[in-house]
Amino acid sequence: MGHKIFSILLVVLNGSCQAKAEVELKGELKKWHRVEISFEGPDTGEMDENKPFLNYRLDVTFENQGKSYTVPGFYAADGNAAETSTDSGNIWKVRFSPDEIGEWSYSASFKKGGNIAIENTPNAESAGFMDGQQGIFTIADTDKTGKDNRAKGRLNYVGKSYLRFAETGDYFIKLGVDAPENLLDYEDFDASTNALGFRKNWQPHAKDFGADAEEFVWKDNKGKNLLGAINYLAIEELNCYGATHINSPHLDRLASEGTLFSRAYCNVPVCGASRASILTGARPTRYRFIDYKTKKEVDMPRAIGLPMTFKNNGYTTISNGKVYHHESDDKMAWDEIWRPRGNIRDYLLEENVQLNARKGKRGAAYEAANVNDTAYFDGKIANKGIKDLERLKDGGKPFFLALGFMKPHLPFNAPTKYWDMYDIKNIRLPENYQRPVTIPSEAYHNSGELRSYDAIPKEGDLSKEAAMNLIHGYYASVSYVDAQIGRVLQVLKNLGLAENTIVVLWGDHGYNLAEHKMWCKHCTFETSMRAPLLVKVPGITTGKKSEAITEFIDIYPSLCELAGIEPPVELEGKSFVPLLQGKTREKDYAISKFKDAVALIKGDLFYTEWVDDKGEAYARMLFDHSNDPLELDNLAEKEEFATTVASLSEALHANWGKDFLIDVNGQAE
């Protein structure tokens, strides 16, 4: 690994994009029961020129002890189109009923090309995303009996008039009003008693009824819903119901060439402390890396930071934009430090400039200006990075170039064209826009960072209009910074540097967009802790996704291993290079801390303790993401989870770091 000298390009997002969801596997994982796997693929729609049903092809191969089945997948829009009626999204699914117990593996093939869905094209172009995605699941024997048909096995066509169950050999005969074929069991046809509630009404398709079908309705204007359903199946143009996904083609392209860590977690969900932790490879403690004002030189002055390690090994080190939170922090580690100049919140509209100039005040929380990309800071940071690459190309030394982009941090400022990529009518509040009473009050905050901006109320819920505008601005900011990253990566390629440069992109923390009625970060819900981490290593990464739990203190030792540099012995993270190589590693947890809250992420369990100076817990929170991914049901105080809580608490205390309860002067508590 250490024989080839790589240059390093760090791309840091301020405020971070919300990390994309990982592969989702649903079902009871039992013989003959349906297993459904959902993948995140390209964001597209039924009316896109590059039609998802025709120009993409998903095939998933399932294998078990010599048996192999290749099952075609399908485009599923937002993953719940049957309920939402939407025609766009980025979810692709495959369904399979395993016919053996034991361990099954799956491997996804995702290709693109003209008419590929209906043609065999052996050498088709990879579509990226889940192409090559692999996984394993274990199937138990079915526990169904009696009339539950899953006890009888898969239905097979055996050349007879009826299908036959593979397990029992019985024939399948479907009768009754709930038979799918029974179109006449429709409320405008059938006046009999609806005893079992099976009668259909086709209500979701009322909106699809066309005025040109008026002549076909019958007595008392009946039949409109059914005719709407038929119209829905026949028309070529459908309404768009919620294209809320982020437009980020350049980040998607980077992911298709690198490794995307779908379960990467920051160690502190606040910008200054998170950056100091990442760049020193050290965990936060009760007295170190506390808030946005954190300075590495104050909290860990003797630590050798990541840029200094590379500088000491012959690299040219350059910091552009916001890398450490404070421009002068760890300044001896850099050959050059540069930041764009101007009002710190980068307003361009005069109204906001004037509002921001008032002492102790800020302008609006978002801004759309009809300007080109380089008018805002991130366009300038990209320009500076491009100029650096052009002069570093012939510099004769490897480089460690860090680009700290300002977005998508508040205020959400971006050129108008990026706002225009999204229709605010399609933006929705998150599903977990609520605060369950079972969750401790310590888990919530008042979104104080947002409250300091003009026109934002100091207390209470935001208006729906304000919330939609903020989410709209966040999306626009992500697409804007995506375009700037794309410009830099294109120049890296054009200069012939891409094949000898490791690219690492991370966001310093996650972000709340009204989840649990909160905004920004500053908590230990997953939305604040989970953040993007993309790593591209020439000759190693190939567009795969790692589902292994990773934390940001793992970045420092990983880059040292990739560059063949001996890391400082004090580092608390563990290299994720084995994961880049498609292997496994022993470490399987992450720990994140904000103020008194310390969270352990292990498997599907997210456990938080609020502790005092002695490390004793005074509040707890536990979520099981296997059945509560929205984090609405706190299990920590339920008697049946007492053993689980005790085990997680022990693991948390054992791994939160040997210095966790030691103050800044080294005095043990």
pLDDT at 623: 97
Using the predicted structure, report yes or no on whether residue 270 has a pLDDT greater than 60. yes
pLDDT at 4: 66
Distances (CA, A) of 59 to 33, 37, 62, 524: 20, 12, 10, 37
| Residue 271 annotated in active site | yes
**Cβ proximity of 600 and 616 under 8 Å:** no
Mean pLDDT of 301-317: 96
pLDDT over 70 for what percent of the chain?
A: 86
pLDDT level of residue 232 (50, 70, 90 thresholds)? very low
178 compared with 292, residue with greater pLDDT: 292
Tens of pLDDT, residues 506-537: 999 999 999 999 999 999 999 999 999 999 99
Mean pLDDT of 198-202: 62
pLDDT level of residue 114 (50, 70, 90 thresholds)? confident
- Those residues whose C-beta lies under 8 Å from the C-beta of residue 269, and which sit 6 or more positions away, are 509, 510, 521, 522, 523, 524, 528, 529, 592, 594
- Comparing 6-15, 70-79, 485-494, which segment has the lowest mean pLDDT? 6-15
pLDDT at 237: 24
Of 176, 181, 173, 126, whose CA–CA distance to 149 is shortest? Answer: 173
Which listed residue (271, 520, 523, 560) is catalytic? 271
- 88-96 vs 35-45, strand pairing mode: antiparallel
- 102-112 vs 88-96, strand pairing mode: unpaired
pLDDT over 90 for what percent of the chain?
A: 66
pLDDT level of residue 243 (50, 70, 90 thresholds)? very low
pLDDT level of residue 483 (50, 70, 90 thresholds)? very high
Tens of pLDDT, residues 557-598: 999 999 999 999 999 999 999 999 999 999 999 999 999 999
Using the predicted structure, report yes or no on whether residue 669 has a pLDDT greater than 70. no
- 7-13 vs 399-405, strand pairing mode: parallel
Using the predicted structure, report yes or no on whether residue 393 has a pLDDT greater than 80. yes
Tens of pLDDT, residues 312-358: 999 999 999 999 999 999 999 999 999 999 998 999 999 999 999 98
pLDDT level of residue 239 (50, 70, 90 thresholds)? very low
Q: Is 557 strand, coil or helix?
A: helix
pLDDT at 286: 95
Using the predicted structure, report yes or no on whether residue 134 has a pLDDT greater than 60. yes
pLDDT at 128: 87
pLDDT at 48: 82
pLDDT level of residue 202 (50, 70, 90 thresholds)? low
Evaluated on CA atoms 362, 365, 370, 371, the torsion sign reads: positive
pTM metric for this prediction:
0.68
Using the predicted structure, report yes or no on whether residue 86 has a pLDDT greater than 90. no
- Per-chain mean pLDDT for the chain: 87
- Those residues whose C-beta lies under 8 Å from the C-beta of residue 598, and which sit 6 or more positions away, are 524, 591, 592, 608, 609, 610, 611, 652, 656
Which listed residue (325, 472, 516, 522) is catalytic? 325
Using the predicted structure, report yes or no on whether residue 238 has a pLDDT greater than 60. no
Q: Which helix (H) or strand (E) holds 599?
A: strand 597-602
pLDDT level of residue 418 (50, 70, 90 thresholds)? very high
